[in-house]
Structure 1
Amino acid sequence: MKYYNLFAGILMSGAVGLLAGSCAETAAPAASLEDDVHILASDSLEGRRTGSEGARLAAGYLARRMEAIGLEPAGEEGSYFQDFSFRPRQDPHGEVAYGDHSDGSVTARNVLGLLNNGGERTVVIGAHYDHLGMGGEGSLHRGDSAIHNGADDNASGVAVMLRLARDLAERAATGASGPRDNYLFIAFSGEEMGLLGSNYFTKNPTGDFGKPAYMINLDMVGRLRPDSTLSISGTGTSPIWNQVLRSRNPGFRLVLQESGVGPSDHTSFYLQDVPVLHFFTGQHEDYHRPSDDSEKLNYEGMAQISDYILAIAADLESQREIAFRKTKNESEEVPRFKVGLGVVPDYLFDGTGMRIDGVSEDKPAQRAGLQKGDVVVQLGDSTVTDMMSYMRALSAFEPGDSTTVVVARNGRQVTAEIGF
């Protein structure tokens, strides 16, 4: 933990300039996945809210890590940074206006490093590093404001991204057996406020990288479960993805989703006709709460995911072209609903029904006696076979309505009354 102890001391001492300023000092020692997560999820960074001092400290730390790995600065004016300003949207369906420097605007910072192997094409590997600060909009915490450290969301993804950068750089240093593609590593800001950093980069690239050959997004990869379930989205964005993912699978229980559109930064690249893959180990009860802390992460699982992606990248080096394909946008089909059960769905569940991964306090599901692990198989008159059918069933109800819910629990069916 030498690296963690070094930077923890810097953070606690308040030496802001060393992290947030120039990266010209002596490179720091090698870091582990644990080191990177402990730093990024430290209370000292106060939740890394977009545009905050904690986020700027995190950006400085990431720039030093990229420099230590040997990545070239790929930001603006020879730096590792790409700054952008915007005014937070008041209308959730409105467009963000970049370049707004008036009162109330926010200045955010992407962090970019390039592994230049002299290749003809460039691959983007990205992860967002911002989080929710002390809570507020987006938080599921009910109570006094508290630091949301975001260890899984998304210090985990950034840590795996940096490990991949290190391993690819070490491979490149071996010469003939090294990678032939260039790799652009981007730590995005503004994801929690609407994929702002990735959207800005795709429309304002900081260099002549050409159109990315493909993009890998790492968002919430720190909670690999005992059954090794790993969700990968975007598998329909190239006809080769399924074959490559399965041939290199070291033993994960893969849950593959075709859509290139989702609530994370790969969407910004998909909308520019870039093949994408988004790696994700699932929701949990600490999501967007102050309890998402570093000691709860599965670091061995994170290393396994990193090694898997490294093997995939090696396979793709020999692919002359990674063709792009449009996918069905499931998000456009999501029905609107006015009520909720008050549960956290298990997005990695691929059986029949909708499995509950968490139950919120004082909500309809808890009042009806539903439990974590229950599988909703019927809601009212509607049979529930998957997440989409569950949402369609839910959309039929209004506040004040009541109905029955049937769940599968420990091999038997349980019926309960639900009041919305």
Structure 2
Amino acid sequence: MVRILMFLSLIFLGLYSCKTEKTEKISLQEDIAILASDSLQGRETGTSEELLAADYLQKRMQGIGLLPKGNAGTYFQTFTFKPKNDPHSEVQFGTGDSTITGTNVIGYLDNEADKTVIIGAHYDHLGMGGEGSLYADGEAVHNGADDNASGVGVMLQLAEKLKDSLTGSNYLFIAFSGEEMGLLGSNYFSKNPTIDLKMANFMINMDMVGRLRNNKTLSISGTGTTPVWKQVLNATNPGFQLVLSESGMGPSDHTSFYLQNIPALHFFTGQHEDYHKPSDDADKLNYEGMQMIGNYILSIIAELDDAKKLAFRTTKNESEDVPRFKVALGVMPDYLFDGKGMRIDGITEGRPAAAAGLQKGDVVVQLGDSTVVDMMSYMRALSSFEEGNSTKVVVDRKGEKIEADITF
């Protein structure tokens, strides 16, 4: 294994050295191809393959000209934790037996400004599968091209564009470890920051930005965390169909900064059938879409470059309103759908929806006696059923209302 890792490291170093010697910029496609390669075996937190990815990111940051802002003059901030057995308990950071060490990679652009913009994306993924995987056929490399080599790639491109351009802020770039295990890297950094967080103006998080659809639908969460977000987002919008959510709480790393009273946004292009599966590969990404998102974020930062430090505002925690379920329909909802009902973006074989003949693209408009007008009403309706119950579901399929029997 050691020999293999040394060989892979030489490959990565060779690609990086050849590019830098020719003073060629490394492209978004090249960054993602490396991070999402089979050789890195899914970048699971604490593995030697994640460390290879961290080493690559360190060299990229160094090549861009970012200053090291990890621990002890390095680009790395390590954190050690004991995996939790109880899903409702908090992870315990610290040394000891049966611990795992994650590694945040942190670079800094110091413009000697009085405020700092934090730009982050997690680079870890699910390794060979295991907990969190939606793949049912055993171990396989989960490359995580969209989740989240896409966000890291866009972050590196932003670092290159911000270098020597917008100087009204300092910029801190963080590639987080441990996101898939519970936002561990961002949680640790927010409580053990390597900069003065009082200078933090706002945080931009990119998690799964690689599958922009043809209609250019882009989800942005956290729009309520400062009063100016919606105005700025609309003023700089180059043509996205925006789906905005005010809550600063969510299942990604922006949450850790929101909880430190820092305005934060999360950019997301939606889930898909390859989510948390080995098929989330680099050749399926929309690279033009990622470039468009990166330019949009750059415009947002530019719009605020000369502005005063943003005022923080707390938001409603929408996750507290989510009902608990005893059953599942076996579908992947389309979280970017803003029409009436709940649009199905994927069907799981062997589950109630598949048995009832529901299809991807169907819009659930009624479940049992409940009318479904949005995601929340769908979840409330679903929470009323128990295993063994039967009911009817009505879907809109290309304008036609279709009724089917469902057994949970």
1:27–1:67 contact (8 Å) kept in structure 2: no
Alignment of 1:119-158 (within 5 A): 119-158=113-152
State the 1:30 CA deviation: 1.8
Structure 1: how far apart are the matches of 2:5 and 2:85?
A: 35
Structure 2: runs of 5 or more not aligned: none
Structure 2: how far apart are the matches of 1:234 and 1:95?
A: 24
Q: CA RMSD in A?
A: 1.9
The verdict on how the C-alpha distance between 1:235 and 1:145 changes in structure 2, with shifts beyond 3 A counting, is: same
Residue 275 of structure 2: aligned partner: 287
Alignment of 1:1-400 (within 5 A): 14-16=7-9, 29-99=24-94, 101-171=95-165, 178-208=166-196, 210-400=198-388
Structure 1: how far apart are the matches of 2:57 and 2:86?
A: 32
1:338–1:395 contact (8 Å) kept in structure 2: yes
Structure 1: how far apart are the matches of 2:304 and 2:79?
A: 32
Q: Which amino acid aligns with 2:310?
A: I
Give a deviation string over 1:298-354, Cα, whole Å, max 9, x none: 000000000000010000112113111111110011000110110000000011110
State the 1:245 CA deviation: 0.2
Give a deviation string over 1:215-258, Cα, whole Å, max 9, x none: 00000000000000000000011110000000000000000011
SS in structure 1 of the partner of residue 357 of structure 2: coil
1:408–1:414 contact (8 Å) kept in structure 2: yes
State the 1:180 CA deviation: 1.2
Residue 414 of structure 1: aligned partner: 402
1:123–1:212 contact (8 Å) kept in structure 2: yes
The verdict on how the C-alpha distance between 1:227 and 1:48 changes in structure 2, with shifts beyond 3 A counting, is: same
Q: Which amino acid aligns with 1:417?
A: D
SS in structure 2 of the partner of residue 162 of structure 1: helix
2:8–2:39 contact (8 Å) kept in structure 1: no
SS in structure 2 of the partner of residue 200 of structure 1: helix
Q: Which amino acid aligns with 2:367?
A: L
State the 1:11 CA deviation: 8.2
Structure 2: how far apart are the matches of 1:13 and 1:226?
A: 41
State the 1:72 CA deviation: 0.3
SS in structure 2 of the partner of residue 109 of structure 1: strand
Structure 2: how far apart are the matches of 1:103 and 1:25?
A: 42
Q: Which amino acid aligns with 2:155?
A: M
User: What percent of counterpart residues are identical?
Assistant: 64
Q: Which runs of 4+ in 1 moved over 3 A?
A: 10-13, 15-20, 23-29, 207-211
1:122–1:210 contact (8 Å) kept in structure 2: no
SS in structure 1 of the partner of residue 403 of structure 2: strand
State the 1:63 CA deviation: 0.4
TM-score scaled to structure 1, two decimals?
0.93
2:115–2:309 contact (8 Å) kept in structure 1: no
Structure 2: how far apart are the matches of 1:240 and 1:133?
A: 39
Q: Which amino acid aligns with 2:272?
A: H
1:237–1:259 contact (8 Å) kept in structure 2: yes
1:19–1:58 contact (8 Å) kept in structure 2: no
Structure 1: how far apart are the matches of 2:271 and 2:396?
A: 20
State the 1:179 CA deviation: 2.2
Q: Which amino acid aligns with 2:277?
A: R
State the 1:15 CA deviation: 4.8
State the 1:144 CA deviation: 1.7
The verdict on how the C-alpha distance between 1:194 and 1:377 changes in structure 2, with shifts beyond 3 A counting, is: same
Structure 1: how far apart are the matches of 2:36 and 2:4?
A: 12
SS in structure 2 of the partner of residue 55 of structure 1: helix
Structure 1: how far apart are the matches of 2:41 and 2:371?
A: 44
State the 1:376 CA deviation: 0.4
State the 1:53 CA deviation: 0.7
